[in-house]
Amino acid sequence: MSDAEMLSPERRTLLSRLSLALGTVAAALVGVPVVGFLLAPLFAPIAQKWRTVGTAQSFQKGETVEVRFEDASPVAWAGVTGQTAAWLRCETDGSFKAFAVNCTHLGCPVRWLASAELFMCPCHGGVYYKDGTVAAGPPPHPLIQYQVRVRQGQVEVLASPTPIT
């Protein structure tokens, strides 16, 4: 190859940088939509929906029962995982409290012991009183509460995102 046909060092440097830049642009054209798609759940508005869990008369005063309802952001293919639950307490004055079933330690499902009026977590032994405050064990916070309202005789719980404490 003659000297005339050889690229100058400056031109080679330019072409190298140009090739790398074009590759970066191509990667960005593919990568930005992919990353955006994967990160989309982080930017979605908080989904909250009122779900009816029963008539006010169907809950006995002083009792705590599990109520099941559709979660706030179900997708068509979720199947049973589109359902969620809460512990609903009907106070002696007729008002209601709804507790998340998730232990605030690590999110395991707490069980209600009606006779002892305690919530107990099977994973690491967290215990809560009937008002959701911590009674024993490692939980750092009281049970998370959902908003509850009674409309036209129906008890409604505000279905919310899975609590992350």
Partner 1 sequence: MRILRTVWEWFDARTDASKMIGPIAKHPVPRNTGWMYVFGSATLFAFLIQVVTGIALATAYVSSAGQAFQSLSWITNTAFLGRLLRGMHYFGASAMVLLVGIHMIRTFLTGSYKFPRELNWVVGVLLLGLTILMGFTGQLLRWDQNGVWSTIVAAEQAGRVPLVGHQLARFLLGGQTVGGATLSRFFAYHVFFIPAIIFAMVGLHVVLALRHGISEPPSANRPVDPKTYRAWYEDMLHREGVPFWPDAAWRDAVFGLLVVACVVFLAWKFGPPALTSPPDPTIIQAYPRPDWYLLWYFAVLAQLPHGTESVVIVGAPLLAGVCLLVLPLVFNRGQRAPSRRPWAVASVVLIVTGVGVLWYQGEQSPWSPDFNAKPLTGAVAQGSPEVVQGAQLFHNQGCEYCHTIAGNGGKRGPDLTAIASRLTPQQLTLRILNGGNNMPAFASSLKPDDVTALVAFLNTRTLGDGASGGASQ
Q: Which chain residues interact with partner 1 by CB under 8 A?
A: 38-39, 41-42, 44, 46-47, 66, 68, 71-85, 101-102, 105-111, 113, 115-118, 120, 122-125, 127, 129-130, 135-138, 140, 161-162, 164-165
**Least distance in Å: CB of 37 to partner 1?**
11
Strands 154-159, 83-90: parallel, antiparallel or unpaired by DSSP?
Answer: unpaired
Provide, rounded to whole angstroms, the least separation between the CB of residue 118 and partner 1: 6
Using an 8 Å Cβ cutoff, are 48 and 149 in contact? no
Q: Which is nearer to partner 1, 82 or 153 (CB)?
A: 82
* Beta-bridge partners for 64: 89
Where helices occur in 117-164 by DSSP H, the ranges are none
Kindly state the tokens that stand for 130. 């009937």
d(Cα 78, Cα 84) in Å, to the nearest integer?
Answer: 12
Of 17 and 111, the one with the shorter C-beta distance to partner 1 is 111
> Least distance (Å) from partner 1 to the CB of residue 160?
8
Nearest to 161 by CA among 68, 48, 40, 79: 48
Report the residue number, 25 or 77, with the smaller CB distance to partner 1. 77
What is the length of the chain?
165
Closer residue to partner 1, CB minimum distance, 50 or 129: 129
